[in-house]
Amino acid sequence: MVPARVSDGEPVSAREREAERRIQKARCGAANGLIFPGVGQACQGRAGESAVLGGLATAELATAVGVAVHEDRGWAGFEHPAAAIPLVAVQDLWLIGYADAYYEEQRARRMRYVPQEKLSELVVAPFNPRVLSSTDVWVGIPLMVAAGVGVSVLAGEPMDTKHAGDDPNLFGRTVDRAWGYPAAGAVGVAVFTHVAMGEEMTFRGLIQSSMAREMDETSGWAGASLAFGALHATNVPSMPRNERERYLFIGVPFITMVGSYMGLSYRWNRYSLSAPIAIHFWYDLLLSAAYFAADPTSSPLSARVVVPF
């Protein structure tokens, strides 16, 4: 994990000096990253990162459009899981690309509380032994997953184990379990890597750090945690009416609590994003895996996807 500078008295890092040299030669600003993933990195002369982000986004967008427009049964729509899941990934790539380019400008200006990690370091953070050995990470992950299962049951989503061990349903088709389970795991790893990076780079790296600079560290933590919960409350209109009240009064407060823990981890690790990204990734993956294992015939990989964030 690479710590950020939290006071103006700390020495300037090598990454900040590198960012300053790069931004002096930049052809355009980080705001151009909102045009499409990878554009911000191209502006800054970071061809490798630009190609990876742009290529992934193009492939995922093409997959979503291809499924929606030309599926075996005709028009499938963007709510079909094989279209909706790539769209979620593209959405997160947009956040990742913009945040990363914006961090580079902030590092060049030697601002406090700015994450110092490269994208390549954040991608592997959930599998990095040094990150996983941090107490807040290895203790927090199982506690949060257990709490997530408990809150889901309380909110009216008990685990149905009648189909445990059956051949899974992937994207509307029942497939052989011999390859269906590994395929589902691979999709989960890819999607939750996008989600963990996109959300943590936004809520912790942008919002919490910005509020810490403008006010203080505690206000930054509280504000970003509340923003994390509030944004998830916008899922309500896409939910069935009979689920909305439980989600608002049970789900959203719990999501806010989860976000507050990841914000604490961010702060405890001197504003390194690796720890909260690892926690977020494993929380999402393990919780989803538990429900998938309980009922592989009904999951976000097989059912209609209506919650985009």
How many whole angstroms separate alpha carbon 92 and alpha carbon 308? 10
The 10s digit of each residue's pLDDT in 165-216 is 888 888 778 888 888 899 889 999 999 999 999 999 999 999 999 999 999 9
Tell me how far the alpha carbon of residue 139 is from its chain's centroid.
20
pLDDT band at 305 (very low <50, low <70, confident <90, very high): very low
Looking at residue 156, its pLDDT comes to: 66
Looking at residue 73, its pLDDT comes to: 53
How many whole angstroms separate alpha carbon 195 and alpha carbon 103? 18
Find tokens 């060049």 and name the residue: 108
Range 120-148 average pLDDT: 96
Contacts of 20 (CB under 8 A, 6+ apart): 107, 108, 110
Cβ pair 91, 35 in contact under 8 A:
no
Cβ pair 63, 165 in contact under 8 A:
no
Looking at residue 300, its pLDDT comes to: 67
Find which of 101-105, 144-148, 179-183 is predicted with most confidence, using mean pLDDT: 101-105
Cβ pair 132, 275 in contact under 8 A:
no
Looking at residue 144, its pLDDT comes to: 93
User: Which residue has better confidence, 157 or 278?
Assistant: 278
Q: Residue ranges per domain, the chain?
A: 14-294
Cβ pair 17, 116 in contact under 8 A:
no
